Amino acid sequence: MRVASHTPGTCVLFDGSHPAGLIAARLNNNPFAAGVHFVTTTTNKTLCGARGAFVACLPEWAETMARAVFPGLTAGPHGHEMYAKLVGYVTAQSSAFRELMSRVQDNARQMATDLAKTHGVRLVVGGTDTHMVLVDLRSASDRAPSGLQVEIWAERCGIYVNRNTIPFDPRPDQNATSRLRIGLGSVSQRGMRRSEIRELAGVIASIVRCGGNGNVCSQIRRRVSEIASAFPMPGFYR
């Protein structure tokens, strides 16, 4: 921001794809209030809408942006996709959506706290203000697994997480990495709260340390299946 503010003709673009829902619910700061000129975001992550994306900008850039995007960079508009996004935008203004995002944030903070304090798993930063928890796998054991290894182990157990790089990652290859990214959006939509999150934190810690053990993986998979069955995906926000 400082560089842009002191450089004539420079604009700032913020990618809000992940925190968009939290921003809409006013749980994370509005980037435009911080001086950002353009915001890009998907509509299907924490906004919980149809798969797609949009670009927003300050009023003085609106006409330039509109002319650049259509007809210059996009094909013909699809009415059903536009309507699906509109439903998501309207829903994001509801009290039910704000309650959901608050639960997502609470669950993410609970996951971070339990992983770090209860299970001794090191986090990339001290906690989280979003829906994600970032784990630094380098301290998990003397022979720390890569993010890819934990991702594969977790999937075998019925849990989906992502490998990510970390600053100064000793495994810079994006197909390995030393970081694990855990998102709390889906489990929150299913209605899970702190007690379930605390159990899942223990499950994830076990996967990080013992996920390569077939017997441990089988036990975890059975328990994960039981938890998921108790919290089926809802037709709408709970």
pLDDT score at 141: 53
Across the chain, which has 238 residues, the per-10-residue mean pLDDT values are 71 94 96 93 93 92 86 75 92 95 97 96 91 86 82 95 86 83 95 96 94 92 96 74
Residues 50-67 have pLDDT tens digits of 999 999 999 999 998 888
Q: Under 8 Å CB-to-CB from 50, ≥6 apart: which residues? A: 43, 44, 81, 84, 85, 87, 88
Q: Are 28 and 41 in contact (CB under 8 A)?
A: no
Mean pLDDT of the chain: 90
Q: Are 123 and 112 in contact (CB under 8 A)?
A: yes
In angstroms, the CA 29 to CA 26 distance is 7
Cβ-based burial of 233 (10 A; exposed 0-12, middle 13-18, buried ≥19):
exposed
Share of the chain above pLDDT 70, in %: 94
In angstroms, the CA 128 to CA 138 distance is 19
Residues 63-79 have pLDDT tens digits of 988 888 877 677 677 88
Q: Are 149 and 141 in contact (CB under 8 A)?
A: no
In angstroms, the CA 232 to CA 29 distance is 32
